[in-house]
Amino acid sequence: MAEGNKDKDVKNSSAEIIAELLSDPRVKRGLRYLGGDEFKTERERIQQAASERIRNIRNRYRTRRRDPETAARERDLSLRLAEVEAESAELRLRLAELLEEEGRLRSDLDAL
């Protein structure tokens, strides 16, 4: 019997909690919003934006269909670009060294 009363108490207290929540003005406002057209419109807009983002990501990472000649040409150009970038970096370092030396020489010359 005690277990039967316990179940009733749980049911009654749960019902009281739910009734109290449903009578709260903020909850009522939230329920009206969730059931209204504004929420449905906003949800639809968000879903469309999310699907567009997913579509863009898929397109960005989808493998490109290229013939073997085009793929080989792209690889060659990429390798040449890497070589040019490396050479450019070396030249910038050398230029920095030369500018430092120029500065030292000018200051030595001014000191005389």
Residue 76, token pair as written in the block: 């060659």
Same domain for 73 and 54: no
The proportion of the chain whose per-residue pLDDT surpasses 70, expressed as a percent, equals 94
Same domain for 93 and 38: no
pLDDT given at position 3: 61
pLDDT given at position 77: 93
C-alpha 28/C-alpha 30 separation (Å) is 5
Domain with 7 in it: 1-62
- Work out how many domains the chain is built from and give that number: 2
Same domain for 54 and 22: yes
Rounded to two decimals, the pTM is 0.39
**pLDDT averaged over the chain?**
87
53-93 pLDDT, tens digit per residue, is 998 888 877 766 778 888 889 899 999 999 999 999 999 99
pLDDT given at position 48: 93
